[in-house]
Every structure is written in C-alpha cells, then in structure tokens.
Structure 1
Amino acid sequence: MEKIKIIASNKSWIEQSAVDQLKGIASLKGIIKAVGLPDLHPGKTPVGAAFVSEEMIYPHIIGNDIGCGMSFFMTDVKKHKVKKDKWIKKLEATLNIKDILIEDTFDDTTSFKEKMGTIGGGNHFAEFQEIEKVFHEEAFERLELSKKHIYLLVHSGSRGYGESILDEAIKKYHAQKGLKIGTFEADAYLKKHERAIYWAENNRKMIANRFMKLLGIEMTRVLDSTHNSIVRKAIKNKEVYIHRKGAAPADVGAVVIPGSRGDLTYIVMPKPSEVSAYSIAHGAGRKWSRGGCKERLMNKYTKKTIKQTQLGGAVICKDKSLLFEEAPEAYKNIETVIKDLLEADLIEVIATLKPVITYKG
C-alpha cells in the first residue's frame, strides 16, 4: 500500500510546505497512510489531510478545534419570499450572535458554556444559500431537499473547549509524542474528544436556533459532518484510527463542500475508498496566508464591494481585517477541488448552491 498519497491535479495549488508537513506526519510511529486532498495547505499540521494509524493516536494532528464541521439546514422560507434586505438589516444590527437569547436545551457542564451557539473567527461562518443546480435528481430527492427553499450552512467547531482538551493532553500526557491505544492516557483523551465532537455538533444547532429566532423562521437539519476528528475504523479485520484534519468523512453519507464566500457550495455523495483514507476535501482550502491579504486586496475593493460577492450574495462581517483575510482570492478554486475529486472517482455531485447572505463573527 502506498504510504503517502496526494490526490490533486497539476491545476491544484499545493504548496511544498504542506507536502513537507504531510511527509513529516507520515514518519511518526504507527502512521501507515498519509493522504493529502485537493484542498491541502499548510497549518500547524497539514490541513486538508487524513492519516491512518495503528496502535497509536496523535491528538496534535487534528489540532485544537476538535469537532469542527458543517451542519446544513433547510429553512421553511421559499427563495422567492426571502426578504433579503430585511434579513441583512437585522443581522447587521446584531453586534454579536450571542446577543440573540434563546432557550438553552444543551446540558453543558464545561467552562465554555458562554461560547455555545457562537460561530467564532477565522474561516468559520454561517451562510444562507439557494439551490443553483441539481445534478442528481434521485439522490436530491432521497435527501428530501427542495429546489424552492433557502438553506443555512453553518461551519463552526468546539470554540475553545477542544483547545483545552488538546492543551491538557499535551501538558499531562505529552500527547505530541503520540498516545498508545489501550493506555489510560489514550482512553482519557478519546473520552474527552468524543465530548468535544458532541459539543461542536450542538454548537452548530444552537447557532441555527439563534438565526431562527432573529429572523422568525423555522429550519430542519439535513446533514452534519465533522472534519477535525480521530475515528476508529475496522479495515480488513484490522482496527485503525483515521485522523482527519480539514477532511470530510467519506463513509457517513452525503456531505457539503463549500467554496469561498464568492463561490458555489457542493452537496456530494462520497465514494468510500481506502485510497483516500475514507476521506474527501472539506472545502476550497487556503491559497494565501492571512498575513498580507488586506494589503494585497485593498486597491481591488471599496468598503461597499468587499461586502458583495460575484454571485450576488451579501457579506456581513464587522471585522475589517477578517473581511480581507477571508476574501475569495485567498482561497483555491472550488471547481478545481471538485474536479480533482471527480477524476479520482471519490464523489458524485448531487447539487450546487450559491450564497445569499454570508455571516461572519
């Protein structure tokens, strides 16, 4: 079995530093496979990657935002009835999403309760979308989706809770050196890791609940997937652990792969494959580092145009630096990422969506 595999065409923007990071992780004890996906880019550890291990797990591979993922909701609002200007006005008047008070239905015993139901910074977002095109009618209908309705995609994670778990594992158990499966240290980490996965999933639900209250709408969750996690899996009668860092699972059904705020979002049905470590890309992946984005783009945008997208969407973000750091130019072309996955026979495209309102902060 090929130990290191990069699934990307020559058209994909893959930095050598990301490849070097991938190789570095592949050299760790117990790692039997390292996969770089088309959205691969450098981070503290490579993002857009999946690693398979035996007998060992490495918490630092998946990082501090344990449970980060995507939740996809269908609203009860039909797109021709969206009061877009009214929604924008209400969202812009909300200084912080946390200010939208709702009933707390999640029994949170952590010290991070105040962050529950908040999006966070960086590349996290909530985006209202509408169906642009359906490619697979049967699969679309099986998911009980509607071409007429507005959707909400939420990208967020464990909001500091996961970071506290990683910090503890490193300080108490020296987890950066790896944790051997079956030991007290590995069991303690994995138990808290599962709590963070659950916490992050409920965080995304609560974010949706806040938007429902603010806008006076209803919505139902259709899909949810986690792209920062360690998952146990039996492969050929062998127990292994799949570490996903910015990689969507390919073995849990349909998933959503968003582009930048200026690109389409894709609903796809993955084709589980050992070649890809049962994983696919989770998004477009960064092309530029955050530092310098504002300087590179200041002359291209005005205060007004930076809050608009080429697909007609509006952007709501009170952090001026983040507006530039998350500009479409800072990301890879999502069409190239999707094409690479199609050529590798890892997905089937069900539908695409285009942004209506992107909310950050």
Structure 2
Amino acid sequence: MRIEDAPIRIIASDASWIDPVAVEQLRQTAALEGIDAIVGLPDLHAGRGIAVGAAFWSRSHVHPHLVGSDIGCGMALWETETPLRKFRLDAADRKLRGLEEPWEGDHAACLAKAGLPASLMGDALGSIGGGNHFAEMLCIDSVCDDEAFASLGLDTARVHLMIHSGSRGLGAAILDEQLARRNVSPLKAGDDACAAYLARHDEAIGWAVLNREIIARRFFERLGMKGRRLLDICHNSVTADRGGWLHRKGAAPADHGPIVIPGSRGDLTYLVRPRPEHAEEALQSLAHGAGRKWSRSEARDKLRRRFTVAELERTRLGSRVICEDRELIYEEAPQAYKDIRQVVADLDRAGLITIVAALRPLITYKTRRA
C-alpha cells in the first residue's frame, strides 16, 4: 500500500512555460501503484491522460499505458554523402513522391534479418505515419562544440536526414490488448503477464527502428543519395533500470550516446551529447523535442485566421514543408510549439547536456496526396 505519492521533479527554468494541466497529470500519475519517482522535462505538455515529456520509475511494476500506443517512436539521424552545394530544393521537391504507397521491398526478409516475425505489420514498413511524424533534410547551421563535433566524425558540408516515426499500428494494438485485459492496472514485474507484454513491447521497438531505416532508404532512393546512420533513439519505452523499470513517455534517453532534439517544423534541431554528472536526477532522460504549446484544435482555430496553407509551406528559415493534409499543416505549424532554444537552454543550465551543433531544415516531409 502506498503511504504517499511519488516525488515529482520538473526540470525547467522560470523562463519556460509549463502547462498546469500537464503538471496535474504528473500528480495523478504519482499516485499510481508502484510509481516511485517522476521527472518532467522542459518540453512537458499535456497528453491524453498522461503527460508527454516525462519519465516514470518504478521498482516493482510495469505500466503499459505510461509507454502509450506508439511504442518505439523515436528519432534517427543520417549523414549523407551529398554536399550541401549540390542539393537543389526544387529537384528534391519534385522527386519526393509516392512515399505514401506501400514499400516494394522484401518485407519478410527485412523483418527476419531484424530478428522479428516475418509477418509482423509488413505492409506498414517504410511509412512515416501521421501526427507529428516527419522526415526532414537538414544542413549544419552552426557548430557549438568543435571537439565533440569532430569526435563524431561529422562534416559541416554534408546534407543530413532525420526521421521521426514509430511502430505505426503495432504499438496501438499492443496497448489496446492490455487495456482490454486489465484497463490501466499495472503489471507486476516478474509475472508471466508482464513478461508477455515486455516481449511484445520489444518487438515493437525493433519494428520501429527498422521502419525508420526503411523510410531513410526510400528517401535516399528517391533523391539519389547514400548515407550513414549516426544515431537512433527511442522516446516511448519501458526499460530495466537500477533494479526497477523506467518508463519514458516522450523522453529521450541520456544513456545511449548523442541525441537530436528537434524544434518544430521550420525551426532548428539540436545535436547534443548527454552529460553524466546529473543524469540520475533526471532519471537518465532528456527532452525529445520542443513540446506542444497549443492543442491540435487550438492550432487549427488560431492559425487559420492568420495564415494560408501556402504561407505555411514556407518557413522563416527559408525551408519548405511538404504537407498536403490541410488539417495537419495547421495542427503541426511552428506556432503550436514551444521555443526549442529555451528547452535546450534549460537542459544545458541543468548540466544535463553539451550542445554539439544546430541543424537547419531544408525540406520537411509529412504527407503527399497520391
């Protein structure tokens, strides 16, 4: 029996806006069975009952609904062999078509090579999905730490590709099964039911990593490029940690090497290196992006009165946005998100990261009508 709720720590400066609804959601989560510590990060915002931009640790239980429906959602970054001076926006825009159509590769072989069942959601492989998922071509805007940048073997003259996607319908199906069986009751670590969930969870993680790889392959094929993957990090997961279980809901790992923290569409992305000195205070977690400031409905209502679709297809940084879903282009507009500079500054001030470089978008791809 819980005597008192779990302690909550929010890592954010006074300059950051934190949604009080998200804070209340953290308080509600702190009262759940088995939750022993909670951290909210600077991108904290309200979700569907569970705050996003947070980490939850339990010594005894796994809570599937804290991971959510998009198990394995994350970010991957590639450095291409293409020099920026040879990258042409108009040509890239013309070539990025047909990406909503099913991938024509050997689904079963790719799944088997990744150690996954050959029939596991094969038809969805290589698809970005909706919501805030995207693929983005970027360039290096500035280098903030020359030594760290050089140690990663990066080239300021190269075009980069970033993919944000997850496990598509697979994670949702896994969560739905859990909710149908147990609602939001937690799973006792070590029990058969917990082991069964974790096995399926791990499949979804592997599927999401493979999906990002195939999305990148499709982009490279369209654009006539080659590249090497620099990193792939997961934002929605539960992992064994310090003899317990660490749930991340929209939080990047601080114990898997460098990560990217993207701003909104049309803003900078930061490549950072986690610092170990205070990582445990943040449950080995970092912000995964800018974090929403407005809900989707708020963004649509506010921005339709101020901007045309054509205006939102160009950003203040001069980049292009390919999004032929008229609802989504408003819902995911930069104005709907917090200031990524403030989010990164809060992490830096807390001693959690070293800022390595900032990347500037060239083209952000969300969806194109067939």
Which string of whole-angstrom CA distances, capped at 9 and with x for unpartnered residues, describes residues 178-233 of structure 1? 00001000000001111110000000000001111111111111011001000101
Which string of whole-angstrom CA distances, capped at 9 and with x for unpartnered residues, describes residues 266-305 of structure 1? 0001123111011010000000000132231123323322
Q: Matched residues in 1 for 2:333 and 2:105: separation? A: 31
Q: State the match for 1:219 in structure 2.
A: 227
Query: Which amino acid is 2:104 matched to?
Result: L
Using the TM superposition, give the Cα deviation of residue 175 of structure 1 relative to its aligned residue in structure 2, in angstroms. 5.6
Give the RMSD, CA atoms, in angstroms: 1.5
Q: State the match for 2:71 in structure 1.
A: 66
Using the TM superposition, give the Cα deviation of residue 140 of structure 1 relative to its aligned residue in structure 2, in angstroms. 1.1
Q: State the match for 1:97 in structure 2.
A: 100
Query: Which amino acid is 2:90 matched to?
Result: D
Query: Which amino acid is 2:352 matched to?
Result: L
Greater displacement, 100-109 / 148-157: 100-109
Which string of whole-angstrom CA distances, capped at 9 and with x for unpartnered residues, describes residues 45-103 of structure 1? 11000011011010000100000000001111100000221111122xx2443356345
Kept in 2, the 8 Å contact 1:100–1:214? The answer is no
Q: State the match for 1:157 in structure 2.
A: 166
> Residue 291 of structure 1 aligns to a residue in which SS?
helix
Q: Matched residues in 2 for 1:194 and 1:181: separation? A: 15
Q: Matched residues in 2 for 1:262 and 1:205: separation? A: 23
Q: State the match for 1:81 in structure 2.
A: 86
> Percent identity of the aligned residues?
47
> Residue 230 of structure 2 aligns to a residue in which SS?
strand
Kept in 2, the 8 Å contact 1:98–1:117? The answer is no
Where do 5+ consecutive residues of structure 2 fail to align? 1-5
Kept in 2, the 8 Å contact 1:266–1:351? The answer is yes
Indicate which of 105, 108, 122 corresponds to 1:113.
Answer: 122
For normalisation by structure 2, the TM-score amounts to: 0.93
Q: How many residues align?
A: 354
Q: State the match for 1:262 in structure 2.
A: 266
Query: Which amino acid is 1:283 matched to?
Result: G
Does 2:286 align with 1:280? yes
Q: Matched residues in 1 for 2:261 and 2:218: separation? A: 23
Q: State the match for 2:35 in structure 1.
A: 31
> Residue 98 of structure 1 aligns to a residue in which SS?
coil
Kept in 2, the 8 Å contact 1:50–1:244? The answer is yes
Indicate which of 336, 355, 358 corresponds to 1:349.
Answer: 355
Kept in 2, the 8 Å contact 1:59–1:175? The answer is no
> Residue 106 of structure 1 aligns to a residue in which SS?
helix
For normalisation by structure 1, the TM-score amounts to: 0.95
Does 2:328 align with 1:319? no
Kept in 2, the 8 Å contact 1:269–1:349? The answer is yes
Using the TM superposition, give the Cα deviation of residue 343 of structure 1 relative to its aligned residue in structure 2, in angstroms. 1.0
Kept in 1, the 8 Å contact 2:102–2:123? The answer is no
Q: Matched residues in 2 for 1:213 and 1:63: separation? A: 32
Q: Matched residues in 1 for 2:157 and 2:262: separation? A: 20
Kept in 1, the 8 Å contact 2:103–2:126? The answer is no
Query: Which amino acid is 1:229 matched to?
Result: S
Indicate which of 115, 119, 134 corresponds to 1:125.
Answer: 134
Where do 5+ consecutive residues of structure 1 fail to align? none
